[in-house]
Amino acid sequence: MHNKIDDGDRTPSDVVGRQVQVHRDRLGITREQLAEECAKLGAPQLTFAALTNIETGRKNPKTGVRRREISVDELLVIAYALAVPPLLLLFPLEGPKPALTPPHWKGGLNPYAAWRWAMGEEPPGHMQEDGQARADFSTIAKTGKDRFEAWREVVYPVELYRSLRDAEGVVRARKDAESRAAAFVELAKVLDQMIRAGISVPAYTSDWAEEIRATGVIRHPQALQALDPEENE
């Protein structure tokens, strides 16, 4: 099934294909060179011919369907090869057209709203006639749950990772010992929440790991890993 919006001819593979070409041109490499990079990454099926079909969106003249869709596996490989965040291939932030959404959401979402949805910062939603995005409260099958409710159940890890990023930023910004110690306490609180929720936490340099453990906030400090000094060189 192809997700289309009201221009009638765009699918997710069309959007990704166009962005692959944009970023390949940005780097100044040919399709042959991109194919070589993909092969190095374990995707030899992404040949010059395959990339040509992905980028151009060539269609079967009888069915009107693209000859070559792009799989999730291939999207990740190509994104890595081009050094592009995977989501930017699917939800480009530039350009006049709205981002793709399920077919019944006429007109799609504006790129900013689509990006926030993809990042877990906004619930599933669609554009209203006034041009504003609204949350989707429709019921999912026979679960009795609406989409907003279901989204709230799974977005907690995303919120914790966002809090972690913010807390790390505060630590880096603090220069004096007292405020830096307080910032490490807040960072440790977020890490403790993550550990208790069974969410993977990052490893830190030995000095940061020592500071975090010294706060006494983390109930299971053994879950916090310190990087090998050699890895930091």
Number of CB atoms found within 10 A of residue 117's CB = 19
Where does residue 143 rank: exposed (0-12), middle (13-18), buried (19+ CB within 10 A)? exposed
Tell me the average pLDDT of the chain. 86
In the predicted structure, residue 61 carries a pLDDT above the cut 90:
no
The pLDDT value recorded for residue 5 is 34
Question: What pTM did the predictor assign?
Answer: 0.77
Domain range annotation of the chain? 12-135, 156-232
Helix 72-82 vs helix 12-27: angle between axes, to the nearest 10 degrees? Answer: 20
Helices within the chain (DSSP H only): 12-27, 31-40, 48-56, 72-82, 86-90, 111-118, 147-154, 156-173, 177-196, 206-214
CA distance 122 to 99: 15
The pLDDT tens digits for 120-130 are 998 887 776 66
Average pLDDT over residues 5-9: 41
**Residue of higher predicted confidence among 17 and 114:** 17
Where does residue 51 rank: exposed (0-12), middle (13-18), buried (19+ CB within 10 A)? buried
Specify the amino acid at residue 204.
Y
Dihedral sign for Cα 44, 81, 18, 92, please.
positive
**Residue 164 structure tokens:** 């972690």
The pLDDT tens digits for 94-112 are 765 667 666 555 556 777 8
Distances (CA, A) of 165 to 10, 201, 202: 35, 11, 11
- The pair phi, psi for residue 221, each rounded to 5°, is -60, -20
Average pLDDT over residues 64-77: 87
In the predicted structure, residue 135 carries a pLDDT above the cut 90:
no
Counting residues of the chain whose pLDDT is more than 90, the rounded percentage is 59
Confidence of residue 65 (pLDDT cuts 50, 70, 90): confident
Fold observed for domain 12-135: 434 Repressor (Amino-terminal Domain) (1.10.260)
